[in-house]
Amino acid sequence: MENYNLDKNSIIAIIGCGAMGSGIAQVSADYGHNTIVYDINEDVINKSKTKLFVSLDKLVEKGKFSQDKSDKIKNNIKFTTKLEDISNSSLVIEAIVENLEIKQNIFNKVEELVSPNCIIGTNTSSISIASLTSKLKYKERFLGIHFFNPAQILPLVEIIPSLLTSSDVLNQTKTLIDNWGKLTILTKDTPGFIVNRIARPFYSESIRIFEENIADVATIDWALKTISGFRMGPFELMDYIGHDVNYVVTETVWKDMFYDPRFKPSISQKRLFESGQFGLKSGKGFYDYSENAVKVIPNEDINLGNVIFMRVLAMLINEAADAVYYNIASINDIELAMTKGVNYPKGLLLWADEIGIDKILITLDNLYELYREDRYRASVLLRTMNKNNQKFLS
Ligand SMILES: NC(=O)c1ccc[n+]([C@@H]2O[C@H](COP(=O)([O-])OP(=O)(O)OC[C@H]3O[C@@H](n4cnc5c(N)ncnc54)[C@H](O)[C@@H]3O)[C@@H](O)[C@H]2O)c1
């Protein structure tokens, strides 16, 4: 019987020092852990370290962080390109490229280095925890610990046990991440977990509207920010997340849902991914981030904006309703997940109640009638609730 024990003195290792790894490392170091960050690429390590230190100095200058807090984080993080340096860790969180084989490969190496009492977590957005567990020696110590971008700011963390994760590993991990000041939600090992399943139409329906030439990317972003109150438009957000991450997540969820057309990826995003036009990190994605780029001006036609808003929102609500119907999570957790994990201005189920389930159904059924595609089939739950005149939150 292994003895798992996570507390303030535990050494935490983060594998991968990209957008997510460096954010998670900051959270861990801020709590007071001795934190080791490993990356295969020395250049990435140097850049991430400089970026983190510069951002901490700026936060101190602006009076948002005390000098002590900034010093504590800097002193608690050690950056390395030697995987052996993680050997004394009690918890390893992997945040490398979203690829099953590459992740499985690193877990095998990690298992050879750490003690059997070390808990191993993955920050995967979409790969099943069961498949990531399959090649491990000690399968009960493994689980999903899914932070959101930027990890040092967004409070939500989905905790995803596999069928084989021990209850001790689950409880120890959940308690520690709660103590880090995060809001943890226990999530089933289903495609995209909660947030990345329900959020798919925010990206895919927006791209569909763009591909149909109904509106350009700037207009769709404008509509969803100005009319609906989303903090970022879908195209800005995809460029920020990176198409190497966002496209792969979409494709993985679609395949894992047995090719359900509701989750079908788009050709235009696939081409950006294939061309290495990942968005902000590569200088070009749906938008051009080069110095001389011409700013794209949206068409601020309110009627067009409303059409875009209702179409995307109806698809999002449909996904949230289906997640309730299939018992993926409770109504309360779905509302928390979407407001705290991806910063939606309002819970989708509350939004459905406010607009009216009947109106959401009409939007979906009109789309279904027009396209005759299974993509637009309405959730059974929306239909039954409409028939019975029910609301989600009352
Ligand atoms: N970007 C997001 O919005 C987001 C949000 C939640 C979860 N995630 C997930 O987090 C993980 C990392 O995403 P990211 O956005 O930080 O990616 P990223 O590309 O910014 O960083 C990945 C890092 O992993 C390193 N790396 C690649 N292969 C490695 C290996 N074999 N050993 C060690 N280091 C290796 C790379 O050098 C890079 O620094 C992915 O699984 C992704 O799905 C991403």
| pLDDT computed for residue 2 by the predictor | 77
Tell me the pTM: 0.93
Give the pLDDT confidence of 177-223 residue by residue, as tens digits: 999 999 999 999 999 999 999 999 999 999 999 999 999 999 999 99
The predicted-structure confidence for 36-61, as pLDDT tens digits, reads as follows 999 999 999 999 999 999 999 999 99
Task: Give 243 Cα–ligand 1 centroid separation in angstroms.
Answer: 12
Q: What pLDDT does residue 394 have?
A: 77
Would residue 243 show up in a list of annotated catalytic residues for this protein? no
pLDDT at residue 1 greater than cutoff 90: no
Active-site residue, 76 included: no
Quick one: pLDDT at residue 302? 97
Q: Which atom of ligand 1 is nearest to the CA of 249?
A: 43
Of these residues, 28, 89, 140, 146, which one is catalytic?
146
Pairing of β 77-80 and β 91-94: unpaired
Look up 196 and say whether it is catalytic: yes
Q: What is the pLDDT of residue 328?
A: 94
111 pLDDT tier (thresholds 50, 70, 90): very high
pLDDT tens digit string along 67-78? Answer: 999 999 999 999
Residues with CB under 6 Å of ligand 1 are 15-21, 39-41, 44, 95-98, 102, 106, 123-125, 148-149, 241-242, 245
Q: What contacts 24+ positions apart, CB below 8 Å, involve 289-295? A: 289/239
In this structure, the residue with its CA closest to atom 4 of ligand 1 is: 149
Active site residue 33: no
Rg (CA), the chain: 21
Q: How far apart are the first and last CA of the chain?
A: 46
Among 48, 70, 125, 228, the one annotated catalytic: 125
Q: Which residue minimizes the CA distance to atom 17 of ligand 1?
A: 18
Alpha helices in 62-188 (DSSP H): 67-76, 100-113, 129-133, 167-179
Residue 354 pLDDT more than 80? yes
pLDDT at 3: 87
Which residue from 42, 86, 96 has its CB within 8 A of the most atoms of ligand 1, so it is best to mutate? Answer: 96
In tens, the pLDDT along 365-391 reads 999 999 999 999 999 999 999 999 999
Q: What is d(CA 331, CA 358) in angstroms, rounded to the nearest whole number?
A: 19
Q: Considering Cα of 238, then 99, then 180, then 163, what sign does the dihedral take?
A: positive
DSSP letter for 233, please: -
Mean pLDDT of the chain: 97
Q: What is the arithmetic mean of pLDDT over 118-135?
A: 96
Dihedral, CA atoms, 322, 326, 328, 330, nearest 10 degrees?
A: 80
pLDDT digits (tens, 9 = 90+) for 81-100: 999 999 999 999 999 999 99
Q: Is the pLDDT of residue 362 over 90?
A: yes
The Å distance, Cα 238 to ligand 1 centre, comes to 15
pLDDT at 11: 98
Domains, the chain, ranges and CATH? Answer: 12-186 (3.40.50.720), 197-387 (1.10.1040.50)
